[in-house]
Amino acid sequence: MTPRRRLAGIGAFTLASALLLSACGGSGSSDDTDSTASGDDASSGVVSISSGEPQNPLTPGMTNEVYGGLVVKNIYSGLVYYDAEGAAQNEMAESIESEDNQTWTITIQDGWTFSDGTPVTAQSYVDAWNYVADIDNAQNQQYFFNGFSGYSTDESSELALEVVDDLTFTAELNEPSADFELWLGYTAFFPMPEAFFEDPEGFGSAPIGAGPYELESWENDSLITLIPREGYEGPRQPANGGLEMVAYVEEDTAYNDMLDGALDILPNVPSSAFATFESDLGERAVNQPAAVIQVVNIPEWLPEFQGDAGVMRREAISMAIDRETITEQLYSGSRTPAHDFTSPVIDGYSEDIPGSEILEYDPEGAKELWDEAESMDPIGDYTLQIASNADSDHQDWIDAVCNTIRTDLGIGCEFAPYTTFDEFLNARDDESVEGIFRGGWQADWPSMSNFLGPIYGTGAGSNDMNYSSEEFDAKLAEAGAAPDTETATELYKEAQEILFQDVPGIPLWYQNATGGYAETVENVEFGWDSDPILYQVTKE
């Protein structure tokens, strides 16, 4: 995001027929692979990956969830990209410079083209950024430009961007930001060709990017096929003959196909295999920390969670969740109980933020809080609903959470299923979701700010619960303007104190990157954000 990425884009949310696998994993034609693979050492095999149906058009401004995000970052390129450890590496950028961390001069390398052959210029960036930032264009990624001068959530934005020449432009921020360069590897900041602005609606189903791959076909709810792009000259040269992103009905089916060699890469291990996948796969098993957190979010429009009594109920629910037992028994140690709103792999992570004690299992304290809230604002016989998509394995942990909530709080608790991930996201977007709902966050860039602003900032693109706090927004702004990263880190911790006071979401656990790959492929590596780095995978 997984944004990666949209809140709740975590896990393998499978959508379509596994019968498609009979067509997966084969080699592309010699004409295709010989002309597009990178160098003499490139393999010609087409790599298959378990995936699902993107919710939005395949454009950088609209895609903010995992399935679409994995496609977008392989068919588009930006100024920088992130290596496996999360460090920013130049892709199109020749230089990104500033004397005050507020006004930046960006120069791109000469010779870059989009897949339609048109050149990438400074204007390609300026036009794309202004389009995404403009409220009139209703782009999901608009929020990511809120740090730019000229950004507005009330009227058309005209960002403080200026084209200097074909390869150079300037960008002015509202406040200094020492980590601005780190932002620029995220998909919202990718350039767009002129063809996009001629037909923005139609473009999303037949995208034109400047990345290492291009879209060959998109069979909805079934299969997305990418082929190496002949005109790509950047550092992410494809080492394979293409990618097939296959939608599955069942995660267990995908896992078994991977074991049998009918599927090459499985980004997410199903919960049924947590106890065995490392022994099943040996060195081909992946279980490593990632910038991913699972939460339960609380819609601000639910009356039972408003006011002082509502905050008490939020805290009581959090304290009634036995994170230690659930992560050990259900996930066999592939999850870690949460202690804050970010991730252990992010600089500044802390287990001692004031207010974080509500993340400790305390059944007696939880019951006292719930009863006190009931005495202040009675809601009577009550059943808590926890909503999620049903086409994955989230019901397992929701059932486990509900078991302790029913026992410790003396209320009802049940799973509120939505048939598909797409249906679930749409219900959250239009505020028709039942009860509180599952959310997950896969960081877009490796910083504390990315775990806080995009989810809990007022009007943020992934703030699906409509949380708004002037105090929290002000603290984010103060941290963004900090003179150095150390000062910013302390201010982001203070911002988390506010979240622990308001409890707009309940952190559950951090998710490891748990995946695996078949014997059919080599050079498989999962990155800091839990996504497999697909361009470097080889398959004979």
Q: In this structure, which CATH number among 3.30.750.24, 3.40.50.300, 3.40.1280.10, 3.10.105.10 belongs to the domain 292-511?
A: 3.10.105.10
| Polymer length of the chain | 540
pLDDT of residue 42: 55
H helix runs in 330-447, sequence order: 363-376, 394-409, 421-429
Cis ω for the linkage preceding 2 (within 30 of 0): yes
Token pair recorded at residue 201: 């609606």
φ/ψ of residue 466, rounded to 5: 65, 35
Helix (H) or strand (E) holding 125: helix 122-133
The domain 80-194 belongs to what CATH superfamily?
Dipeptide-binding Protein; Domain 1 (3.90.76.10)
Instruction: Give the CA diameter of the chain.
Output: 74
Whole-angstrom distance, CA of residue 286 vs CA of residue 370: 40
Question: 3-class DSSP state for residue 477?
Answer: helix
With a threshold of 0.85, does the pTM exceed it?
Answer: no
Helix, strand, coil % (nearest 5) of the chain? Answer: 35, 20, 45
What's 277-328 look like in SS3? HHHHHHHHEEEECCCEEEEEECCCCCHHHCHHHHHHHHHHHHHCCCHHHHHH
**CATH-assigned architecture of domain 18-75+211-287+514-536:** 3-Layer(aba) Sandwich (3.40)
∠ CA 310-313-315, rounded to 5°: 115
Structural Rg of the chain based on CA atoms: 23
pLDDT of residue 398: 95
Domain ranges of the chain: 18-75+211-287+514-536, 80-194, 292-511
Blockwise average pLDDT, block size 10, the chain, 540 residues: 32 32 32 38 86 93 91 97 90 94 96 98 98 95 92 92 98 87 94 97 95 97 96 96 93 96 96 92 93 94 96 98 94 91 89 97 97 95 94 90 97 93 87 90 85 91 92 90 83 97 97 94 93 96
